[in-house]
Structure 1
Amino acid sequence: MRGSDSRTGSLFSYVDMESRVRGDHPLRVIREITDAALSSLDEDFAVLYPARLGRPSIPPERLLRAMLLQAFYGIRSERQLMDRIEFDLLFRWFVGLGVDDPAWDHSSFTKNRERLLEGEIAGKFLRVVLAHSRVKRLLSSDHFSVDGTLIEAWASIKSFRRKDGDDEGGDGSGDGALGRNAERNFHGEKRSNETHESTTDPEARLYKKGDGQPARLCYIGHVLMENRHGLAVGGMVSQATGTAEREAALALIDAHRGRHGEARRLTLGADKAYDVTSFVEDLRTRKVTPHVAVDGRLSKTGKPRKTVIDGRTTHHPGYDISLRCRKRIEEVFGWTKSSAGLAKVKVRGRSRVDAAFTLTLAAYNLIRLPKLLPDLIGAVP
């Protein structure tokens, strides 16, 4: 007998959300770790959302779970995210909404982002995820790697104008009377970060990664990775400068040691861009062994470039192991930029970009956990 294709409405809903998500779904492990991390941030949320008269806000726990889903599934905008939460039972279950609960408006993210930024919630969330008892045992306490990647700013190259306003005329060199997105003629114009800045995102800097690469308005995202399983244990965003990667590496190492109080010697793997005498010496004064790749390029005179990475470091077997392990940090950058959508960030200002980048690093760690903790798969009925 052929079934009917007609649609009938129902007066009541008896859908059990738990029964609609299979027991071995990877999001079950992620949600268990996420809920435990958010519970440990309860006091921080209480400070940011003080008890007072007025309408209750969207719970910050639900906002953060939704932002994690946006990174997990590479959803391009918060408007699309809310559309997905509206009809997807899996998304509703993960966020904490019932079948009949209405989804909130996408503008709630904008209104609450500043509040979460003020409380440094992204960085705290990353740290409490790493401090979870099941996650902590996965981390190496001795061997780390560091690297940086360009994050394109949410600003057009046409917004890169002279600080003194001399290029604001209406003759085709600026917008002037020509309206929005007018033609710009850059030929013969020397532009630098000293004389120019973006009118859209003043903290973004014009920068290029290497010779032959186009210059873009961007930031640099930095990651400190532990070498055992390739999880990100620290991250930050800086303005794009030639020394930013080395300065951020030292800051990340100092922050990690400051939190854990470790006085023992560490190893730090890095690519040849970090083979700079001052940086290597700074690591050694911090009791960090510099497992840095040797920059063997020849100078213009044909002489090998000077390096301070000598036999004291390279003769150890751990040096070659660190150089192999450090390449896994590219997997972190690849996922955050291609899957999570941070190749071109959609917020402006270094502090906001830093929060988005740090939360994405936490999402990367979480999405790795179902494979690293297979004993938890199927543990929840």
Structure 2
Amino acid sequence: MRGSDERAGSLFSYIDLEARVRGDHPLRTIRRIANAALSDLSWAFAALYTDFGRPSIAPEKLLRAMLLQAFYGIRSERQLMERLEFDLLFRWFVGLGVDDPVWDHSTFSKNRDRLLEGEIAAKFLLAVLAQPQVKRLLSSDHFSVDGTLIEAWASTKSFRRKDGSDDGQGPGRNGERNFHKEKRSNETHQSTTDPQARLYKKGDGQPAKLCYIGHALMENRHGLAVGGGISQATGTAERETALALIDGRRRGRRRITLGADKAYDVERFVHDLRDRSVTPHIAVDGHLSKTGTPRKTAVDGRTTRHIGYDISQHCRKRIEEIFGWIKSSAGLAKVKLRGRDRVDAAFTLALAAYNLIRLPKLLAAPA
């Protein structure tokens, strides 16, 4: 029999959000781990708020909403608030009841900025990794590192001379500009929109863009991100940040391995790793010079002769999965925040979100 297309209205509705989310939904595992990590950060949240004034949005709810924004690739706070208004799954995950009002998007943004400025994202990533069920999944001996460009929320038209001599070019707010034969560099020019973004290109033949560099340190057992952050775009930023990530991760002097691509095959960097008891499992940069002579690599046979080197070279490529998810699913191919600190917080939270979406399957797999 054909069903009716009429909507059956009712005076009252008794909806149990907990019953509406199926028992095997991945967000159940994610929410349990996230709540445990947020509970461990209660002291950090307390330091951001005073004991008087009007109550603000609970930081735990704020952060869970930001995780949903990364999970589902929601491009704006307006759209996130709209989803929270009618999506029961979103309300359950954040901790809102069916009758609870949704926040205004501007209120959400202001409260979110307080978390971004309080280094909560980095602490949350560490708190997730410190959970007992997550910690047993991590390798403590074998790691990989890499960097990727994160395009800044600034137009190339905003890249103007620091002395202001070209401010009058082009009528209107977004007037035309002719960059032909104009020499522009980070020493003489700066973005008026995001002064901390730098003009940079990844390699020959690539366009130069205003951007930052996002870094990730990955453990090789399951490919989870154990560290990362944002730096200004320079030719040495990837190697300098890699050393900082290793120093921040290590406890003691036990020898570990670090896989990386050809950009890290620099003699000074390899020596710095060996001084830290880190075996450099770095891809050999053997390109030919203009005279046809192969480039001298800093990685010698002491490292490449072992089978562990080949294993690390195979595992290190999984770090591209992290960057691919952050840029495509989490929407950070072009970040919608300005300033290095805020971009760093958004990128680090995206690393934590990537780990969380991987955990339901990893925890369900047989040991």
TM-score bracket for this pair, using the shorter chain length: over 0.9
Q: Is the 8 A contact 2:117 2:342 kept in 1?
A: no
Q: Deviations over 1:252-311 (max 9, x none)?
A: 001111xxx232001000001000000000000000000000000011111111112111
What residue is the counterpart of 1:321 in the other structure? 311
2:33–2:131 Cα contact (<8 Å) kept:
yes
Which whole-Å deviations, capped at 9, do the CAs of 1:127-159 have from their partners, x for residues lacking one?
Answer: 000000000000000000000000000000100
Of residues 243, 246, 268, the one that matches 1:250 is 243
- Matching of residue 164 in structure 1 with residue 163 in structure 2: yes
Q: Are 1:208 and 2:201 an aligned pair? A: yes
Shift of 1:50: 2.3
Q: CA–CA distance in 1 between the matches of 2:18 and 2:217?
A: 37
Residue 268 of structure 1 is matched in structure 2 by 258
> TM-score, normalised on structure 2?
0.97
Aligned partner of 2:175 among 182, 197, 202? 182
| 3-state SS in 2 of match to 1:214 | coil
Q: Residues 88-141 of structure 1: CA distance to partner in whole angstroms, max 9, x if unpaired?
A: 000000000111111111112321233213321000000000000000000000
Cross-structure match for 2:47: 47
Query: Do the aligned residues in 1 keep the contact of 2:144 with 2:219 (CA within 8 Å)?
Result: yes
Q: How many aligned positions are there?
A: 366
The partner residue of 1:239 within 232, 235, 253 is 232
Change (3 A) 1:296 1:103: same
1:2: how far off? 5.2
Name the SS of the counterpart of 2:150 in structure 1.
strand
Pairing 1:147-158 to 2, within 5 Å after superposition: 147-158=146-157
Give the C-alpha shift of residue 5 in structure 1: 3.2
Q: TM-score, normalised by structure 1?
A: 0.94
Q: Indicate yes or no: 2:131 matched with 1:129.
A: no
Determine whether 1:98 maps to 2:91. Answer: no
Aligned residue type for 2:316: R
Which residue does 1:379 correspond to in 2?
Answer: none
Matched, 1:308 2:298: yes
Match of residue 281 from structure 1: 271
Whichever residue aligns with residue 37 of structure 1, its letter is A
User: Does 2:329 correspond to 1:339?
Assistant: yes
- Find the counterpart in structure 1 of residue 137 from structure 2: 138
* Aligned counterpart, 1:369: 359
Q: Distance in 1 between matches of 2:298 and 2:315?
A: 21
Measure the CA separation in 1 of the matches of 2:79 and 2:102.
12
Structure-2 separation of matches of 1:8 and 1:244: 61
C-alpha displacement at 1:229, in angstroms?
0.2
Structure-2 change in CA distance of 1:375 and 1:284 (3 Å): closer
SS at match of 2:74: coil
Aligned-pair distance for 1:3?
A: 4.5
RMSD across aligned C-alpha pairs, in angstroms? 1.3
Partner secondary structure for residue 373 of structure 1? helix
